[in-house]
Amino acid sequence: MISEKIILGIDPGTAIMGFGIISVKKGKMEMVSIHELILKKYPNHETKLKYIFDRTLALIDEYHPDEVALEAPFFGKNVQSMLKLGRAQGVAMAASLYRNIPITEYSPKKIKMAITGNGNASKEQVAGMLQNLLNLKEFPTKYLDASDGLAVAVCHHFNSGTIANTKSFSGWESFLKQNPDRLK
């Protein structure tokens, strides 16, 4: 039995990308770190993607997570935004797989449901519940994207051992085996 597990949660974004890291020891969660990448200042999408990859690798190398959990892209009306968001998620996935860390995706509704019990909860409600669940006196960031990254990590902990509505990959081979239509 694993005595400690580190989980990196990622909320992909192209304006702000949130990261939350928790430690689970004997079933007890503790926040290790919370980060956000402010990507608005970068001149183009390609530069943002490189920075996402580099920063994700740096966090992996610093905190050595056992697992990575990501929020799946939200299916909105703007196709261009969806495409850019999918690329940001893909780059974060690639960084995790590059370090051979298993990844799992969760839908935004599943994350909100795991944290608050309401799949339509607001970002503020999610942050408030995280503050309570992790015994934080105050929330360590003003960006709700960072708290969303933390929510993904907590959701993953709550769902460890379950398979429903998640996709999990242990490496490129596993990803390709589960997604044969992505091969060209």
**181 an active-site residue?**
no
Return the closest-CA partner of residue 11 out of 159, 111, 140, 119.
111
Return the closest-CA partner of residue 61 out of 31, 100, 3.
100
Task: Retrieve residue 20's tokens.
Answer: 């939350």
Is the distance from CB of 32 to CB of 22 less than 8 angstroms? yes
**71 an active-site residue?**
yes
Kindly calculate the radius of gyration of the chain based on its CA atoms and give it in whole angstroms.
Answer: 15
Q: Determine which one of 36, 105, 145, 148 is catalytic.
A: 145
Q: Determine which one of 36, 71, 105, 148 is catalytic.
A: 71
**61 an active-site residue?**
no
For residue 178, the 8-state DSSP code is H
Return the closest-CA partner of residue 89 out of 81, 184, 181, 100.
81
Backbone angles phi, psi at 104, to 5 degrees: -140, 140
- 71 is annotated as contributing to ligand binding: yes
CA–CA separation, 4 and 57 (whole Å): 21
CA–CA separation, 147 and 181 (whole Å): 34
Q: Determine which one of 11, 36, 67, 105 is catalytic.
A: 11
Return the closest-CA partner of residue 150 out of 126, 174, 176, 182.
126
Which active-site residues does the annotation give? 11, 71, 145
Binding residues for Mg(2+): 11, 71, 145
